[in-house]
Structure 1
Amino acid sequence: MMTNTKIIIVEDEAIVAKDLRNRLQKFGYVVSAIASSGQEAINKSREICPDLVLMDIRLKGHIDGIEAAHEIHKYLDIPIIYLTAYADDKTLDRAKVTEPFGYLLKPFKERELQINIEIALTKHKLEKQLKTNQKWLSMLLNSISDGVISSDFEELITFMNPVAENLTGWKQEDAWGRISSEVFNIAHAETHEPVESPLKKVLQAGTIVSLPPETILIAKNGVETPIDDSAAPIKDEQDRITGAVLIFRDITERKQAIEAHQKQVEQEQIVAQLAEINQLKNEFLNLFSHELRSPLSNMKVIIQMLQMSITPEASQHYLEMLENECDREMALINDLLDLQRLEAQACPLITPDVLLLEQFIPWVIEPFQVRVQEHQQTLQLNLPSNLPSLFSDGISLERILAELLNNACKYTPAGGEIILSVDHNSAETPPKTIITIRNSLEIPTAELPRIFDKFYRLPNADLWNQGGTGLGLSIVQKLVEQLQGIIQVESREGWTTFRLIFNDLVVTTS
């Protein structure tokens, strides 16, 4: 029993009111006041704020008990129990509107009165606690920075906080009872394809779900907002799903921060790349200027020698030297122009055609036969029978083979060998043609990574009196790339091997 409970009795019969007071005091309750009219009941209730009111329905005056209870509820949250002799339907219907905590018909037993009072007080305490919790929860949901939407088991919206109202463009009173996908309208950011409502997925799967990346919320007025979210089921004490709750947030600032960071990273990468390009440009210009100045310096010396020349034989010798240096300068300029066009792909260099390798390869190496004999070298050609044709650009392939054979002739010592082999691998898809050029010279392993660099020459190349622009292998590498092929180089056991790999019947364009 709740002690010190304050009760007001509203009864216009003095004897009945006194009897009620005695009974309540017997139970241990405190009777704070007795009112005989509806207005008096309203006034005393507002003055005393009791824990409970026992209200007779039929009272003297123009305000009966039901009207008095209605007025009391406007100002106070206290339980009211009706004590009346009237049980007709009309009276009951009027009484139910005021949500009474009990309805006892006179005459009633003491125990019945006590039980009704205790139940009313307990029920009111629980309801008050529930209202407090609901108010606290509502304040919490309304104050958080994320949007919150809840639905019942049929996916009909039951709650929206102010953030959700602002992002969706729907007021809670307008969204109440609507299907969630109508209010929470989401789509893919790029394709604008509709995305299934997470509340629907939760109610179907019974588990927590999240939105896919790049999801946007389309508000009632058409405004699009990037969001992420998670939704979870709402379950009762028996673990049955009764609804779902969705929490989502505007990630515009986060996306902007990520994009800004990405732009900063990209700018830093561009700056680093520009610095690297600038360094490479400076290195190239240094090499280029050296290569250009060298023949010009030689020409100047030769011209001075010509001016001092006495005999026709000496003049002829110096003129031949001058012609060679001019050829060297022209070759350097031509190679630089070819390399620039290959790197920039400024003009079409590829004209695909069917090459009969059995005829094409011997034709390419024919000019080198005399040269290898002069250097006391041997040039061996290995061609298999029934060699398939290669669909490629003849001019480019001729330039590639000529550059590689020229290097092999230059750097192979007297008595050395040069071997050109062609193989066909039909087991791969697509089939491949492999052209290999080997010469009896071993390049140090540390030098191989630089073999295709511009102006690169082998160590001690000048001791062998080998000329050239130093651009041949760079041009070869670019031409092979344009033919959609692969070039490999290895050097071991006294041999250097260049391997060219081309796909058969592949139309190559610039």
Structure 2
Amino acid sequence: MGEIKILIVEDELLIAKGLARKLEKLEYVVVGIASSSEAALQKVEETKPDLILMDIVIKGDMDGIETTKLIQEKFNIPVIYVTAYADDETLERAEETESYGYILKPFKEREVHAAIKIALKKHQSTLEIQHSLKEAQILKDEKSRFLSIASHDLKTPLTAIQMSAGMLKDYSEKWTEEKKQKHLDRIQNSVSNMNNLLEELLILSRAESGKLTFNPQPIQVVEFCQSLIEEIKPIAHSEHRVLFMSSQEVIHGNLDKDLLRHILMNLLSNAIKYSPDGGTVSLKIHQDGQLIWFEVADEGIGLPLDYQDKLFQQFERASNVGNIQGTGLGLSIVKQAVDLHQGKIDVDSEIGKGTRFTVTLPL
């Protein structure tokens, strides 16, 4: 644990100095001696000790027990009480502050040493329990956020399907073929959006339960990417130019097809979605030895600087997306798929100019 810093709170200076010598002999670091509650609180603030030896009877408006209560609320530092006597009432009050033990005066070295070791171990266990509870609460909060966002994002396409289906039922006889087609397209798009969301939720659930596995197999990367580009083109509109470039005509590698597909389809669909005014969306691939680079670039809205640190966190979305729909799940899954390949992902972006993601994977 390294050096253990101890603060002594004792109003009799000779006793305090005697205790300090015993502690130093036991190779503890005494960071200070305080004789009142005010001085103790100030010393705790200044020295941030690992443990406090607190006399119950000290100078000032507050006794050792009241001072301990304040220290625990503010600093979460373990306290051992030192006292010449302990009547039942005092012990009861001390118990309320979750003390880490008592040392009775006059001090015996072995007792002091044992009490400190037990207190530090007990405090370490307490910290671990607090950390576990905090983690569990974060997980619980994430799950409820996850469910509320998922249900919200499923409602939107469901509402669109319901409205279009209802209108087709009531008015299709009076509508032109063009108007009917518009509503059928809306239904088809909504089903596609729901399907994408459910797929993302499924992958995320598998990743969280450790079931998202890495199954590499031989793959001709250039051919694979060309087929993805053909698949993505229909979601682009007329003002987009979708380009594919490769440094070699043939690149063989051992990669997980499903994960690679998810990485590239997610980055390409984002590139199209977040460049609503059109422009070039490109996928460039380049092999160098046993590494392959995939670069997906667009000329879209770009990413705010403050968002770039939170890019791969679940449900995080940039502040400039406006009414462009999305869950904030896609990039979180992309990052996990890249990690499973033991690769890396970098981003370079400028507001209003566009974004470039570079994924590097070992072949």
With the shorter chain as reference, the TM-score category is 0.5 to 0.7
Deviations 1:174-201, CA, capped at 9 Å, x for gaps: xxxxxxxxxxxxxxxxxxxxxxxxxxxx
The residue number in structure 2 matching 1:492 is: 350
The residue number in structure 2 matching 1:213 is: none
* Deviation of 1:312 (Å): 5.2
* In structure 1, C-alpha distance between the alignment counterparts of 2:260 and 2:200, rounded to whole Å: 16
* In structure 1, C-alpha distance between the alignment counterparts of 2:191 and 2:235, rounded to whole Å: 22
Q: Are residues 254 and 450 of structure 1, via their aligned partners in 2, closer, same or farther at CA, if it must alter by over 3 Å?
A: closer
Q: Are residues 485 and 343 of structure 1, via their aligned partners in 2, closer, same or farther at CA, if it must alter by over 3 Å?
A: farther
Can you give the 5+ residue segments of structure 1 that lack an aligned partner in the other structure? 1-143, 145-247, 505-510
Q: Count matched residues.
A: 250
* In structure 1, C-alpha distance between the alignment counterparts of 2:329 and 2:272, rounded to whole Å: 16
Q: Secondary structure at the match of 1:345?
A: coil
* In structure 2, C-alpha distance between the alignment counterparts of 1:306 and 1:260, rounded to whole Å: 69
Q: Secondary structure at the match of 2:342?
A: coil
* Deviation of 1:401 (Å): 0.8
Can you give the 5+ residue segments of structure 2 that lack an aligned partner in the other structure? 1-21, 23-108
**Which of the numbers 387, 397, 403 marks the counterpart of 2:266?**
403
Pairing 1:115-264 to 2, within 5 Å after superposition: 253-264=115-126
Task: Confirm or deny: 8 A CA contact 1:343 1:478 kept in the other structure.
Answer: no
Q: Secondary structure at the match of 2:314?
A: coil
**Which of the numbers 431, 434, 441 marks the counterpart of 2:293?**
434
Q: Does 1:365 align with 2:229?
A: yes
* In structure 1, C-alpha distance between the alignment counterparts of 2:244 and 2:180, rounded to whole Å: 42
Pairing 1:83-94 to 2, within 5 Å after superposition: none
Which amino acid in structure 2 is aligned with residue 399 of structure 1?
A: H
Task: Confirm or deny: 8 A CA contact 2:304 2:319 kept in the other structure.
Answer: no
Q: Secondary structure at the match of 1:332?
A: helix
Which amino acid in structure 2 is aligned with residue 291 of structure 1?
A: D
Q: Does 1:394 align with 2:257?
A: yes
Deviations 1:39-86, CA, capped at 9 Å, x for gaps: xxxxxxxxxxxxxxxxxxxxxxxxxxxxxxxxxxxxxxxxxxxxxxxx
* In structure 2, C-alpha distance between the alignment counterparts of 1:321 and 1:359, rounded to whole Å: 32
Task: Confirm or deny: 8 A CA contact 1:387 1:424 kept in the other structure.
Answer: no
The residue number in structure 2 matching 1:120 is: none
* In structure 2, C-alpha distance between the alignment counterparts of 1:451 and 1:310, rounded to whole Å: 44
* In structure 2, C-alpha distance between the alignment counterparts of 1:336 and 1:462, rounded to whole Å: 23
**Which of the numbers 241, 246, 268 marks the counterpart of 2:130?**
268
* In structure 1, C-alpha distance between the alignment counterparts of 2:228 and 2:181, rounded to whole Å: 33
* In structure 2, C-alpha distance between the alignment counterparts of 1:412 and 1:382, rounded to whole Å: 20
The residue number in structure 2 matching 1:375 is: 238
Deviations 1:240-294, CA, capped at 9 Å, x for gaps: xxxxxxxx96865544332211101111112222232233233323322321222
Task: Confirm or deny: 8 A CA contact 1:309 1:315 kept in the other structure.
Answer: no
Which amino acid in structure 1 is aligned with residue 342 of structure 2?
A: Q
The residue number in structure 2 matching 1:333 is: 198
Q: Are residues 375 and 448 of structure 1, via their aligned partners in 2, closer, same or farther at CA, if it must alter by over 3 Å?
A: farther
Q: Are residues 306 and 290 of structure 1, via their aligned partners in 2, closer, same or farther at CA, if it must alter by over 3 Å?
A: same
Q: Are residues 484 and 272 of structure 1, via their aligned partners in 2, closer, same or farther at CA, if it must alter by over 3 Å?
A: same
Q: Secondary structure at the match of 2:243?
A: strand
Q: Does 1:321 align with 2:180?
A: no
Q: Secondary structure at the match of 1:440?
A: coil
Q: Are residues 325 and 413 of structure 1, via their aligned partners in 2, closer, same or farther at CA, if it must alter by over 3 Å?
A: closer
Task: Confirm or deny: 8 A CA contact 1:375 1:414 kept in the other structure.
Answer: no
Instruction: Please identify the structure whose Cα radius of gyration is greater.
Output: 1
Pairing 1:18-97 to 2, within 5 Å after superposition: none
The residue number in structure 2 matching 1:76 is: none
Task: Confirm or deny: 8 A CA contact 1:400 1:479 kept in the other structure.
Answer: yes
Deviations 1:75-108, CA, capped at 9 Å, x for gaps: xxxxxxxxxxxxxxxxxxxxxxxxxxxxxxxxxx
The residue number in structure 2 matching 1:418 is: 281
The residue number in structure 1 matching 2:362 is: 503
Task: Confirm or deny: 8 A CA contact 2:304 2:320 kept in the other structure.
Answer: no
Task: Confirm or deny: 8 A CA contact 1:331 1:469 kept in the other structure.
Answer: no
Q: Are residues 395 and 285 of structure 1, via their aligned partners in 2, closer, same or farther at CA, if it must alter by over 3 Å?
A: closer
Higher relative contact order (CA 8 A, sep 6+): 2
Deviations 1:317-355, CA, capped at 9 Å, x for gaps: 545433433333233222211211122222x54321123
* In structure 2, C-alpha distance between the alignment counterparts of 1:261 and 1:284, rounded to whole Å: 34
TM-score w.r.t. length of structure 2: 0.59
* In structure 1, C-alpha distance between the alignment counterparts of 2:160 and 2:234, rounded to whole Å: 29
Q: Are residues 263 and 477 of structure 1, via their aligned partners in 2, closer, same or farther at CA, if it must alter by over 3 Å?
A: same
* In structure 2, C-alpha distance between the alignment counterparts of 1:437 and 1:489, rounded to whole Å: 10
The residue number in structure 2 matching 1:288 is: 150
* In structure 1, C-alpha distance between the alignment counterparts of 2:233 and 2:143, rounded to whole Å: 39
* In structure 2, C-alpha distance between the alignment counterparts of 1:420 and 1:324, rounded to whole Å: 24
TM-score w.r.t. length of structure 1: 0.43
Percentage identity across paired residues of the two chains: 26
